[in-house]
Structure 1
Amino acid sequence: MSRSPEVDQIPSGDNGLVVANLRKRRISARRIGDFATVMECLRREIEISPDLLMPRVLLARNQARLVDGDESERALDFCLNAAVGSHQLDHGLIGALLLNVQQSPNIRLRSGRFEHLLEIIESASDATLSEPIRAVNRARVLLALRDRQRFLNAVNEFSATPISGRRHKSFANELEKVAQRWSDPSYPQHRISKIFVIGLSRTGTSSMDEALGLLGFSHLHWRNHLTGDLIRSADLFLFDAFSDIGIAADFETLAHQFPTSRFILTTRSIETWEISVRRHYRQQLGILKPDSLRRLAVARTFGGLMGEINASLYSKFETWGEAFESHHQRVDGFFSGERASRLLRFNVLAGASWAELCSFLGVPMPDVPYPHANPGQPESTVPLTKVSGKLDR
């Protein structure tokens, strides 16, 4: 099993014990969406051990989403420069830096930062990054750059080399599958059937993503985990199935672009959905109403794409119920008549399971329970998360 990205970044002595406890507290706070505590712990970790890079990278990421994008930009460049030749550089830190580059509002600087990250990977000593792991991470950055030939060359470098660590092997296997599709003479193919999950947040999209993986489909949920970016048009030709609000926001275009594709509307009752989604966004961003998304720094992230997605589905509405009804009306209106057979409405809380899904996709039912990811938590256990100042009302 591969090591945790932060395991080797805890200082020794009394400071190490303090940092370890802060890290435990931060991870617990992250699980319940208490981002004020997360950021407090990260700042204390940096104060105690200013040479540690991972807390700085994580703090910059949270600043970009919640508070100050400009400060996060400066912090990102500081971390990239500090990572050159650093003994802290490993698979986890590279992935964290890659995600921060993708999340940046400043899309003009993205390519240059990717090239800088490639230089950082090459500068690492063999003791810090073994050659196969170096090649795996080089391939991830080149995929993010959409540099086809250099990406294929990087995959060839590790494809015949034994790789240790479950996580490293998983990334290597997925990168090899992407390389096979990208090098196929028929690439790109619009006539190949894709699966698009177009339910809103908190309707079982994570469970559906896991289910599609169990059925053998290569799948992306919310982001491309290999590159750290939101799902982009280039990804649609490299994987089989896609889910979450980035897909839901533009399902009409996807239906025309891939005319043989199938669509799954994960759903639930509007009453239970409003409770769940309100809790989710209160945890994540400290807001209670969807139109508050327009005022947050998160709208600028991923080069502004996050704001476009939120605007399509949520931020133009005053209530979550209005957003729910509008999306379902869009889906119902589009998938009518001849298109109706391309859509499956799937409500796992009402008992939908493998039978409906596998019948719709024309695949055998697996001999495992249907997954239930992100089940949520009782309302009383969720803190009133404060991001900057007071909770949005």
Structure 2
Amino acid sequence: MNKKFFVLGLPRTGTTSLCIASLDIGLKTAHTAYTQSALNTAEFIADTPVFNDYIQLYQAFPSAKFVYLERELAQWVPSVRRLLQRMLPKLQKQGGGFNDTLKRCYFETFPGLNEHLINDDAYLIQCYNAHQKRVESFIEMNSVEYLKVNLSDANCNTRFAKFMSVPSVEIPHVNKRGKVTAWNDIKHPLKVESTRSGKVDKDSALYQF
């Protein structure tokens, strides 16, 4: 079985930066994966559906290793708020907008999400802490190999390189000041597309390996 790494960090914790670093060390990498082909092909996968569906993915790939990305709440809260404000209209749109897997992952991780709650710091912090608690419980119960890292820490490159068993790695800082398009601009032979020519697998069938 191919090596497999799943990134459990929530949006706006540095998932894109880590995916670019993964490409640089020679791994087939997907930032979001909405087909079984993408999930099978990529060796390093982040964002949706991973941050919500890691239990199903672990069941499908029991030898996988995991990276949990942390970020200071004072930085994460305003950053994820800007993201959710942009996404909300498409998340709420019936019969369109984002695909069903993405919608489900966001509404399960951010339950009851609406325009009012997006502006509530306590709600966003509760979502972050609940996700962290679930991840920590999952890691403890399954004794999986994992790395917990904050990309603002001075030693993050060294720790990530050691976990990935490579001599060194340089994790870039991308999607600054609220931008979220850096991955779309990446052209790399190891980049794995999240869809199949724009089409996705049905949410209910995504994990029928």
TM-score (norm 2): 0.72
Give the number of the structure whose residues are more often helix, by fraction. Answer: 1
Partner of residue 172, structure 2:
371
The 3-state SS of whatever aligns with 2:143 is helix
Asked whether the equivalents of residues 268 and 350 of structure 1 are also in contact (C-alpha less than 8 Å), the reply is no
Partner of residue 63, structure 2:
260
Query: 2: CA distance between counterparts of 1:201 and 1:217?
Result: 21
| 1:37-116 correspondence runs (5 A) | none
The 3-state SS of whatever aligns with 1:362 is coil
Deviations 1:239-298 (A, max 9, x none): 2111113211100111121111111111101222111111222244479xxxxx5xx117
Query: 1: CA distance between counterparts of 2:155 and 2:69?
Result: 10
Partner of residue 231, structure 1:
34
Partner of residue 205, structure 1:
15
Deviations 1:291-331 (A, max 9, x none): xx5xx117844552222111221133652112111110110
Paired residue for 1:269, among 72, 79, 85? 72
Give the number of the structure whose residues are more often strand, by fraction. Answer: 2
RMSD: 2.5
Query: 2: CA distance between counterparts of 1:303 and 1:284?
Result: 12
Query: 1: CA distance between counterparts of 2:110 and 2:4?
Result: 25
Q: CA deviation at 1:238?
A: 1.4
Query: 2: CA distance between counterparts of 1:209 and 1:231?
Result: 16
The unaligned stretches of length 5 or more in structure 2 are 118-122, 179-209
Are residues 1:315 and 2:119 paired?
Answer: no
Asked whether the equivalents of residues 31 and 46 of structure 2 are also in contact (C-alpha less than 8 Å), the reply is yes
Asked whether the equivalents of residues 298 and 306 of structure 1 are also in contact (C-alpha less than 8 Å), the reply is no
Are residues 1:249 and 2:52 paired?
Answer: yes
> Matched residues, percent identical?
24
Query: 2: CA distance between counterparts of 1:298 and 1:241?
Result: 31
Relative contact order, CA 8 A, sep 6+: which one is greater?
Answer: 2
Q: CA deviation at 1:343?
A: 1.4
Paired residue for 1:335, among 134, 139, 144? 139
Asked whether the equivalents of residues 201 and 244 of structure 1 are also in contact (C-alpha less than 8 Å), the reply is yes
The unaligned stretches of length 5 or more in structure 1 are 1-190, 223-229, 288-292, 378-393
TM-score (norm 1): 0.40
Query: Which has the greater radius of gyration?
Result: 1
Residue identity in the other structure for 2:58: A
Query: 1: CA distance between counterparts of 2:88 and 2:12?
Result: 15
The 1:373/1:258 distance shift into structure 2, 3 A limit, reads same
Deviations 1:74-93 (A, max 9, x none): xxxxxxxxxxxxxxxxxxxx
Are residues 1:348 and 2:151 paired?
Answer: yes
The 3-state SS of whatever aligns with 1:324 is helix
The 1:343/1:271 distance shift into structure 2, 3 A limit, reads same
Deviations 1:37-70 (A, max 9, x none): xxxxxxxxxxxxxxxxxxxxxxxxxxxxxxxxxx
The 3-state SS of whatever aligns with 1:193 is coil
